Amino acid sequence: MLTFTVLGPVTAARDGHAVELGPPQQRAVLALLLAKAGKPAGQSELIDLVWGERAPTSAANLVHRYVGALRRALEPGLTARSQGELLTRQAGGYELHIEPEACDLSRFRALVARAHMSCGLGEYAEALGLVQGRCAAEVNRSHPAFAEIDHEVADAARAAADRALALGTPDAVHDVVRRIARWLPLDEALHVRLMKLLVAMGRPGVAEDVYRDIALRLVEQLGIDPGKELRAALRMADVRAAVLRPAQLPADVRSFAGRDRELAELDRLAAEPVQILSLDGMPGAGKSTLAVHWAHRRKLRFRDGQLYVNLHHAGPHTGVPMLRSFLRALGLPAEEVPETLDELAAEYRRMTAGKELLVVVDGACTVEQVRGLVPAQAGSLLLLTLKRRLPQLSDVGKVGVVSVGMLDPGQSRDLLVHRLGGDRVDAEPAAADRIVQACGGLPLALSLVAARLLMNPGFTLAAVVDDLTSVLGAGPGLRTVFSWSYDRLGPTAARLFRLLSLHPVDGFSAPVTARLLDVDAPTAEAALAELLDSWLVDQPRPGRYQAHELVMAYALDLSQEIDSDADRAGARARMVEHYVQGAQWAHDSLAAERNEREAVGWYTREYEVVETLIRQIDEPWRLTIPMQRFYLRRGLLQDWEDSVRYSLAKAVEPAPRARLLMGLAGVAQCTGRFDEAVTLYRESLIVGKEVDDPRRVVITLIGLAGVEESRGDRKTAGIVIAEALQVMDTRLGVSGGPVSDDTKTLLRYLLNAGAELGLFENEVVRARLSAVLD
């Protein structure tokens, strides 16, 4: 059967095999005959299409020759002078006779007609799926017939978009409408629909980009401004963007004081302008507070919003999770967020191009963490606070550096005035001066002194000075400032404070505090409440707690001084066991399809802690193995592989090695490295042969069968499934009487895997095993 396409490239095929259509002029003749859809094309019309005003004197003969060549190509058995049945000569021209279903244009029109009469999107989607480009895309000359077909396609795309918006399913036609809009770059009405789809999908920033692109084309190519509909769509996108525009800055400190010089320097550098503003200085100098305060003062300058991330406890390798978070904040759906660092950086550049964003990264420690965030053009700014000096920043962008030192005495006094009130400080000027001297210009220390005084309105400044003098003598000491809060704690809260220094990162939940203390939950929660009341621990959101790194450094000093090595080792072991048990519970819940939301929530909350512990404990596989289901579920393939390889290097016993090798095989399978996956699955079986764990053997064999199937070796896949069935039968007794629920779950998994691979051809075996599940 002959088939033709004209909605894009002009092609012909016989029984699925391409027909050679000859030179471009000959293809242009066929294109117009197809576009005419059973109506004759005049000879002069064909000449004008092929040559225009430059037609040679022999043009009529050439057209006749092209028609003859097309006849012989479409009907190979024709003699040289035979007219054939498909391409016939009519008065003054030619006509192509084909069945409607043989041409994509006829099928497109039939589907669109049915779509207009229906209430769904199926026919629209099928019709638009036939469109592979502008009509007769490779023909270099325009023709009214081609333009009319392009209008039909645009009409169908607009109707599909309107239907999708009415049904509340904009994503169903977004891709095809966007593709057709790209082929019709000056169609205002179609771009209006595309913008509406994007806004309905929660991507108003992208809709604004669409507007900017077509507006520029209209001005440059047609010399006209965007029409009323386009401007209305832009206003709608602007309103929606205002709702979704990222505004991630933490709350500003209302009583901020003492950094006029640094604020002025930041203003000066930002006006130059620079691409990067960096704040450096010692811990506790107030870099984070200064950065957030300045960002709030200048945020209105950045019309597209503010992004913020705290990297103080995130480690040096944070590029991937940070970019993922930023892309989601900018409106990219989670399922469209790329995986690799290079892809993430490219998508970030695309989504931020032309925008005016303020990006604040608090606690950067390497250039690589922020390399992908440097704005490519004016309008955006990257504001950093640094854990250490990074002179290499100048290699990736124009940098302005502001060093944040200690407050001078006047600035320190101003900070106390802003926190405590001028009357309270002026009433005891000498005591205020001694507090300023004792705190050494460190904003954190001054803030803690002010907090102590605010929590105790009856305290005089002189009483606090007496406390400082008795402990510090003549020198400043942050330790003493921290001790004021610590000394107020009861014994249990004080012990919890010290043991929290064993926790790997500053973010933690209430349940782990009970394990650190080895007490019941109410006792731990009461101790945690004391820490909150004493300003030693903060609660940034419900259920999560954190403490400043300098406070934790003080807690570590106390713990090393007061707690015995055995107490510290026991607390750390209980903490690790807490996360091991939690990870195992989440794994088992997902495997059994119960408590799914709670399990995923646990994994998500504790992911950073667990990933850190994996690199710190002696038996990392205890956490890596139960984490694997979450790695797979969230597509964290690189994290999965890194953790498994690290744990495998530490594992000696065959049981964990076998499971880790199986996990590594799973990563290879998910990333298309099938030969490597087969090797690893078989190595897992060999290593684990000394371990009496038939369930693990069955799961490994199921994975191996899937890889063999992916490699195209169905015969081997069938043999592997048969081997798994044999293990189920001989080792787990699936045909010898009642079996456990765990065995039933495994059997169901095996039957499903075999069915998906098309490897259960023995109905008797399948029926016998399925009966066990009844």
pLDDT digits (tens, 9 = 90+) for 661-671: 999 999 998 88
Q: Which of 443-447, 583-587, 647-651 is the least confident region? A: 443-447
pLDDT for the residue numbered 746: 67
- Mean pLDDT for 363-374 is 83
DSSP 43-63: HHHHHHHHHGGG--TTHHHHH
pLDDT for the residue numbered 119: 83
Q: Higher confidence at residue 316 or residue 398?
A: 398
Distance CA 731, CA 546 (A): 49
3-state DSSP of 493-546 = HHHHHHHHHHCCCCCECHHHHHHHHCCCHHHHHHHHHHHHHCCCCEEEECCEEE
pLDDT for the residue numbered 584: 95
pLDDT tier, 697 (very low <50, low <70, confident <90, very high otherwise): confident
pLDDT for the residue numbered 576: 96
pLDDT tier, 648 (very low <50, low <70, confident <90, very high otherwise): very high
Q: Is the pTM of this model over 0.75?
A: no
pLDDT for the residue numbered 329: 83
pLDDT tier, 469 (very low <50, low <70, confident <90, very high otherwise): very low
pLDDT for the residue numbered 414: 85
Beta bridge partners of 508: 545
pLDDT for the residue numbered 559: 95
Which of the given ranges, 78-82, 480-484, 626-630, has the highest pLDDT on average? Answer: 626-630
Q: What are the Cα distances from residue 770, in Å, to 245, 745, 749?
A: 53, 12, 11
- Mean pLDDT for 281-307 is 83
Residue 438 has pLDDT above 80, yes or no: no
Using one digit for the tens of pLDDT, what is the confidence trace for 150-165?
899 999 999 999 998 8
Distance CA 352, CA 208 (A): 12
Residue 472 has pLDDT above 50, yes or no: no
pLDDT for the residue numbered 426: 87
Beta bridge partners of 5: 11
Q: Are 324 and 392 in contact (CB under 8 A)?
A: no
pLDDT tier, 474 (very low <50, low <70, confident <90, very high otherwise): very low
Q: What is the mean pLDDT of the chain?
A: 83
3-state DSSP of 732-746 = HCCCCCCCCHHHHHH
Residue 7 has pLDDT above 80, yes or no: yes
Which of the given ranges, 56-60, 183-187, 540-544, 688-692, has the highest pLDDT on average? Answer: 183-187
For residue 248, with 0-12 CB atoms within 10 Å meaning exposed, 13-18 middle and 19 or more buried, which class applies?
middle
pLDDT for the residue numbered 475: 34
pLDDT for the residue numbered 229: 83
Using one digit for the tens of pLDDT, what is the confidence trace for 508-540?
999 999 999 999 999 999 999 888 877 678 787
Which of the given ranges, 31-45, 219-233, 496-510, has the highest pLDDT on average? Answer: 496-510
Distance CA 496, CA 488 (A): 13
